[in-house]
Amino acid sequence: MGRHHARVLSGLDGVELVAVVDPAGDPGGAARGVPVVATVAELIARGVDYAVIACPTALHEPIGLELAEAGVCALIEKPLAHSVAAAARLVEAFESRGLVAGVGHIERYNPALQSLRKRLEAGELGEVFQVVTRRQGPFPHRIADVGVVKDLATHDIDLTGWVTGRDYVSVAARTVSKSGRPHEDMVAVVGELSDGTMVNHLVNWLSPLKERSTVVTGDRGCFVADTLTADLTFYANGAVDTEWEALRAFRGVAEGDMIRYAIAKREPLQVEHEKFRDAVLGVGSMADLVTLRQGLRTVEVSAAVLESADSGLTVDCAPARDTVAAH
């Protein structure tokens, strides 16, 4: 992801890309001609206003803490950290210093999902019954320190909570590891949100078919968002009456109209960086960012997914504030 961040930042209005940190140097020229330094301390010494952390997940915490200590704002690639405790320490480090910080859950900036969220908020689907996501494709060799749950499923955990405006209360999961790596490379999750909505996630690194779909089913039909093509389609429940008695007796739904929406398609990474830049400049809203607390919550739910897979049990993952309120 670092090379993509450098590409966008090098042409972003109001931002000057001044240096890249990579102990391995830059043999591929991804830094786009800016100096490549070996340590974060060297970057901080250049007086940067903010930095993007795009490195192995296990390094997010030490690098993030070093930046926070120096008063540097940070956009941290997802997941926020490799553990709940590490994520919580990052939240405390940046919040206690009043620094702007965000998590790179880029799917929130996908045009199809942004349109979907607005339509759900407007009540176009009525009551939401189920959210189903499928995210699968070949193994990315750049990933070595985490499994498919923390690398890929965190996308679906974050986007599901975001588009519905609801939180997870329980998850049940199964994982397999077929590629000979120490981490899982396939996961199937069944979950429940705070309003009773059913959630299903199927995520893997084992398929030659690359698929990124989110299907939200409700009272009036279903939305299908394809985040590879940024297309959003609505399948309405049919409203045509029938005189066929056998069908009249069936109280299910029928196929109705299908609408594929025409939506503007800007690169999500470009939009993400514009929002973060504006927040750092004080002209944008923190509501446009994925906050570190939201990133922490996604890490908490992903930890519950792995706990469920290990134990074979359904795991309660309701946020602490809801648990206290319930009592």
3-state secondary structure of 113: helix
Residue 324: predicted pLDDT: 31
Strands (E), the chain: 20-21, 36-37, 50-53, 73-77, 101-104, 128-136, 168-176, 186-193, 198-204, 211-218, 221-226, 231-237, 255-260, 315-316
Residue 79: predicted pLDDT: 96
- Alpha-carbon distance of 273 to 8, in angstroms, equals 8
The second-level CATH assignment, the architecture, of 108-266+296-316 is 2-Layer Sandwich (3.30)
Half-sphere exposure of 127 (CA within 13 A, CB side): 6
3-state secondary structure of 217: strand
Residue 143: predicted pLDDT: 58
pLDDT in tens, 21-46: 999 999 888 898 999 999 999 999 99
- Alpha-carbon distance of 284 to 88, in angstroms, equals 25
Token pair of 221 as six digits: 């039909």
- Alpha-carbon distance of 309 to 172, in angstroms, equals 7
Tokens 């199809």 map to which residue? 112
3-state secondary structure of 316: strand
Residue 323: predicted pLDDT: 36
Task: Check whether the bond before 111 is cis (ω within 30° of 0).
Answer: no
3-state secondary structure of 235: strand
Residue 181: predicted pLDDT: 77
Q: Which amino acid is at 96?
A: S
> Are 153 and 203 contacting, i.e. CB atoms less than 8 angstroms apart?
yes
CATH no. for 2-106+273-288? 3.40.50.720
pLDDT in tens, 55-66: 999 999 999 999
CA dist 102 to 82, 280, 317, Å? 16, 10, 23
- Each domain of the chain, given as residue ranges in start order, spans 2-106+273-288, 108-266+296-316
> Are 54 and 68 contacting, i.e. CB atoms less than 8 angstroms apart?
no
Q: Tell me, what DSSP letter sits at residue 194?
A: T
Over pLDDT 70: what percentage of the chain? 91
User: Which residues of the chain are under the pLDDT cut of 50?
Assistant: 322-327
Residue 182: predicted pLDDT: 78
